[in-house]
Amino acid sequence: MAAAVRLLPALLLSLLSCFPATGFPRRDVLELGDADFDYLATEHETMLVTFYAPWCGHCKKLAPDFEKAATKLKGSVQLAKVDCTAHSETCGRFGISGYPTLKIFRNGRDSAPYDGPRTADGIYQSMKKQTGPDSFLLKSTDELHSFVQHYDASIIGVFSGAGGSARGEFLKAAALLRDQFRFAHTADVALGDEYGVQSDSVLLFRPPRLSSKFEDSVVVFRDHLTVASLRRFIRDHLYGLCPHMTLENKERLRVRDLLTAFYDLDYHHNTRGSNYWRNRVLKVASQYTGRGLTFSVANKKDFLSELEEDFGLGTSDGGELPFVTIRSKLGHKFTMREEFTRDGRSLERFLDDYFAGRLKRYVKSEPVPERNAAAVKVVVAETFDDIVNDPEKNVLIQFYSPTCPHCKKLEPVYRELADTIFSDKNIVIAKMNAVENDVPLGFDVHGYPTIYFAALGKKDEPLRYEGGRELRDFLKFLKREASPSPAPSGSKEEL
């Protein structure tokens, strides 16, 4: 009993050490401020800092994911936070102007902005890539072979000695692009002999899982090496004839016209099965090189919602066979309706029709209204060109969401506007449900309501309406922008 009493103070001290002065359990996110930022930040090789304000809604939304990521990254990357309402000196020093702002620090120095995902898993995956050196030093052929046997691509520089401008530019590129690609370098030029390269060369190893007989697995960069030229080289050669499109790289691939075959692809557990259909796409792709179309494959489970919403494809479409879409960089969409045949002939026919301009674009559209006699004309994607792009009409169109409270508040004013100028045959007041219909190019809609004016004779230059939302504001705008000016008179009740 006496021994237990003697141990009690030590036990209490141990428990109290788990709690800071505030009385809350210690967190894995380090709190930094003006007095200790420089001192504590230098203790960590890699640190991700969120600069926030307690009242910021986006900061509150980020906080639990940031905490979860901090716990998963504990021991490899330190996560920290700075309250800018209490520590304005530190936030001002790093140019913080919005919340939350996330920055990556290395040994206390501001290294780069964090532009990755803001979910717990996204932060974890992105910051794991930030651990270790920007570029690993390889000293033997075995180390090189081991480095390139990876799920992702590898970029390796071969340089003579420790100096040289080429090596310096390579390491600068590695520091800038390390969150996207894997870099390594060697000062032993003999390591390049196997690939036919000598000093000041760069080897790009495509992922081993994507190797095929249709293209080389290793591409050599031999031009004058700068950060910009190496970046272009990686961009142009990384993916090859038929890359694996993922949620992380889709935006980089979609800068070009892109064909994608979607199927039950799983490179983590079934590389051979995943490549069965990819090889058939590759065979066809090799016949259409140089025609401005990029080919890719993707796991349809990763893109189910997008396929359903953007292409009208159900989860069971295609069954075990791939189904194929084309999305142009201008946003035009096409789907292959014929079943994907193992000999690739159906894909060839689809491509021949695409390049010949025989395919009908897929447009997500509500049904065309049977009656459209109300003052506010209902527009769907199928009737957009007929109504909004009518060359003889000035059209004011509102893009809305049925659940948007601001849209509902605007509705009576918008109807009154349409009633007021109903008798003017030169002006159309219209609206389109932007949730259920594809919004055409040229109309940038990211919030609701968004209103545009497509003027007579200027249909290719729609003007975004930024004015007030009272009747007099709309009338003043139309009087200024419409030609001829509207003549408000008469009224018409909705039918």
Residue 242 annotated as catalytic: no
Note whether 431 and 414 are within 8 A (CB): yes
What is residue 25's DSSP assignment? Answer: P
Residue 56 annotated as catalytic: yes
Instruction: Read off the amino acid at residue 149.
Output: Q
> What is the DSSP track for 334-363?
EE--SPPPTTSHHHHHHHHHHHTT-PPPP-
> What is the DSSP track for 73-89?
HTTT-EEEEEETTT-HH
Helices (H), 74-223: 88-93, 120-128, 141-148, 165-177
Q: How far apart are CA 31 and CA 52, in angstroms?
A: 11
> Which residue do the tokens 């039950």 mark?
264
Q: Which of 59, 84, 91, 242 is catalytic?
A: 59
Instruction: Read off the amino acid at residue 44.
Output: H
CA-CA distances (angstroms) from residue 34 to 84, 89, 90, 98? 10, 6, 5, 18
Q: Taking Cα atoms as reference points, which of 494, 316, 305 lies closest to residue 412?
A: 494
Note whether 483 and 455 are within 8 A (CB): yes
Q: How far apart are CA 231 and CA 236, in angstroms?
A: 9
Q: How far apart are CA 208 and CA 476, in angstroms?
A: 63
- C-alpha dihedral over 262, 267, 269, 275, to 10 degrees? 70
Note whether 217 and 206 are within 8 A (CB): yes
Q: Look at the chain and count its residues.
A: 495
- Write out the two tokens for 233: 């080289």
Q: Taking Cα atoms as reference points, which of 441, 426, 369, 439 lies closest to residue 398?
A: 439
Note whether 299 and 264 are within 8 A (CB): yes
Q: Taking Cα atoms as reference points, which of 175, 94, 97, 163 lies closest to residue 134?
A: 175
Q: Which of 84, 91, 242, 407 is catalytic?
A: 407
Instruction: Return the active site residues.
Output: 56, 59, 404, 407
